[in-house]
Chains A and B, each alone.
Chain A
């Protein structure tokens, strides 16, 4: 797993209250570069979001490692998207498929953000990463 992810997970688990935890998540989101407005297009929107999430991802050709670029107009979702970036960036399809995202989110007590009723698209992002990884592995 990416060191950046392991470090952040540790930080979250040390948070004393849910307020501190969400503050960390939002701060993480703040560090994510803002997507240029010309890339915030309809075709990049993740389906099923109450909030807007724009997602670009591809596996680079030589090493077959995942490159993700994403942004959101809400602070919390942007933070959650950043966690996903930390979790999966630069991994190969096999490494991606070996990760149990549900467990990771559960460990951080963030599992509810994967529920379909939240409408924040986190689940949709995970699904598309997983599907792309499956396709690449074939």
Chain B
């Protein structure tokens, strides 16, 4: 059974008092909080196993390497893929940059890269840069103004129209929480041998995607948005395709042999992991995966959905509040505005109540333009939040709105 009290006990930060009020953390879309086992793991590594990986013939080095590679196995199992198909990066953003750089050579003038209107800047800008250098064109699947989502039928039409070389879309939107129909989109784009890239930064923790079921070519994710430490992310790629990409950065660790004339690179994933990696982060992320595995996915999803529906209905009851996005297929993230009030004012007053929300354009300026707004207040829930917190939030929000009226 999903025992929320036990789960909350695992997150020490949730016991904090902020501005003399118990912290209500509704900003998990920016970064998730960390369970005790992840925090302990970092401490344990530096206290007991600190050594560089894949190098010294000594006990500590072996221990570090085994733990590091064991975490890769855990993530691979989590995503239902092979360990050699997982590359560690410093974040989802670096994963996307690695891909944009790696796929650039395969593009010619007139080729199309297709993204959606919901994308985070990290899934727009790297492709724009690739277009400048390759002569390819970036096309965007629009947001349907009434449903406020990217519609599958429109997407299929655009795939037929552009026959894109690369399609890169988010599994779930960071700003609106929309869960996109990525499985159908991936399936459909196989008609044109399109390389499919899915930005799973937001979806990884909430949906626990199965790569075999999705069948995309690449999937990027962020450790810190999924209970792990900051400074770490990952990239999954189908092995042959992944291994065929040119190296992104060069240096130690990622080579097979070097002379002053010539270098032979290692095979993937090693060839993409130049320099000493974020060893403690990787090992701690392995613990985050263990933590998630202990929670039944169906129970987690049911719980998160019930929180989301409660929050949605409570917000809808406040007159003057406008909600955005797909409010059915959603990871538990709601963006809203109140009358003509500035999101900044609302968040500043909420902070006085110990409530953490995010405001602004959420690194999705083009999406804000589609919605014809400057920004929103965003609440992003996680399975460690409670209905009681939402109740407190709504009561305090009403007070803040009264103050502004």
A16 to chain B, nearest CB (A): 14
Q: In the complex, are the beta carbons of A50 and B344 less than 8 A apart? A: yes
* Docked CA distance A18–B359 (Å): 21
Q: In the complex, are the beta carbons of B344 and A74 less than 8 A apart? A: yes
Segment of B190-198, B284-292, B345-353 engaged in the interface with chain A: B345-353
* Docked CA distance A51–B377 (Å): 13
* Docked CA distance A104–B107 (Å): 58
Taken residue by residue from 104 to 138, chain A's Cβ proximity to chain B (1 for < 8 Å, 0 otherwise) reads as 00000000000000011000000000000000000
* Docked CA distance A56–B374 (Å): 23
B195 to chain A, nearest CB (A): 36
B356 to chain A, nearest CB (A): 12
Cβ-Cβ contact count across A and B, 8 Å cutoff = 34
Taken residue by residue from 373 to 405, chain B's Cβ proximity to chain A (1 for < 8 Å, 0 otherwise) reads as 011000000000000000000000001000110
- A51 CB contacts on chain B under 8 angstroms: 342, 344
> Is residue B360 contacting chain A, with contact meaning CB distance below 8 A?
yes
- A18-B352, A50-B359, A50-B360 given as contacts; is B403 within 8 A of A77 (CB)? no
B100 to chain A, nearest CB (A): 27
- A50-B360, A76-B348 given as contacts; is B403 within 8 A of A23 (CB)? yes
Q: Choose one: B342, B399, B403; the contact of A74 (CB below 8 Å).
A: B342
- A119 CB contacts on chain B under 8 angstroms: 360
B20 nearest in chain A by CB position: A18
Q: In the complex, are the beta carbons of A19 and B399 less than 8 A apart? A: yes
* Docked CA distance A119–B342 (Å): 14
SS class, residues of chain B in contact with chain A: helix
Q: In the complex, are the beta carbons of A75 and B342 less than 8 A apart? A: yes
Taken residue by residue from 356 to 369, chain B's Cβ proximity to chain A (1 for < 8 Å, 0 otherwise) reads as 00011000000000
Q: In the complex, are the beta carbons of B344 and A77 less than 8 A apart? A: yes
Q: In the complex, are the beta carbons of B344 and A76 less than 8 A apart? A: yes
B161 to chain A, nearest CB (A): 36
- B342 CB contacts on chain A under 8 angstroms: 51, 73-75
A79 nearest in chain B by CB position: B345
> Is residue A8 contacting chain B, with contact meaning CB distance below 8 A?
no
- A120 CB contacts on chain B under 8 angstroms: 344
- A50 CB contacts on chain B under 8 angstroms: 344, 359-360, 375
Number of interface residues of B (CB under 8 A): 14
Q: In the complex, are the beta carbons of A22 and B360 less than 8 A apart? A: no
B343 to chain A, nearest CB (A): 8
Taken residue by residue from 311 to 352, chain B's Cβ proximity to chain A (1 for < 8 Å, 0 otherwise) reads as 000000000000000000000000000000110110011001
B376 to chain A, nearest CB (A): 12
* Docked CA distance A77–B341 (Å): 13
- B403 CB contacts on chain A under 8 angstroms: 19, 22-23, 26
Interface residues of B in 97-124 (CB under 8 A from A): none
B402 nearest in chain A by CB position: A19
* Docked CA distance A73–B342 (Å): 7
Q: In the complex, are the beta carbons of B349 and A22 less than 8 A apart? A: yes
* Docked CA distance A119–B375 (Å): 14
- A76 CB contacts on chain B under 8 angstroms: 344-345, 348-349
- B348 CB contacts on chain A under 8 angstroms: 22, 76
- B341 CB contacts on chain A under 8 angstroms: 75
A119 nearest in chain B by CB position: B360
B121 to chain A, nearest CB (A): 15
- B374 CB contacts on chain A under 8 angstroms: 73
B397 to chain A, nearest CB (A): 14
B358 to chain A, nearest CB (A): 10
Taking each of A19, A23, A119, A120, which has the highest tally of chain B beta carbons within 10 Å of its own beta carbon?
A19
A6 to chain B, nearest CB (A): 25
* Docked CA distance A19–B349 (Å): 8
A75 nearest in chain B by CB position: B345
Known: A50-B359, A77-B344. 7 other contacts (CB 8 A): A23-B403, A26-B345, A26-B404, A51-B344, A74-B342, A76-B344, A76-B345
Q: Which residues of A contact B (CB under 8 A)?
A: 18-19, 22-23, 26, 50-51, 73-77, 119-120
Name the 3 nearest CB pairs between A and B, nearest first: A74-B342, A74-B344, A51-B344
Q: Which residues of B contact A (CB under 8 A)?
A: 341-342, 344-345, 348-349, 352, 359-360, 374-375, 399, 403-404
A-B contact pairs, 17 of them (CB 8 A): A18-B352, A19-B352, A19-B399, A19-B403, A22-B352, A22-B403, A23-B403, A26-B345, A50-B344, A50-B359, A51-B342, A73-B374, A74-B342, A75-B345, A75-B404, A76-B349, A120-B344
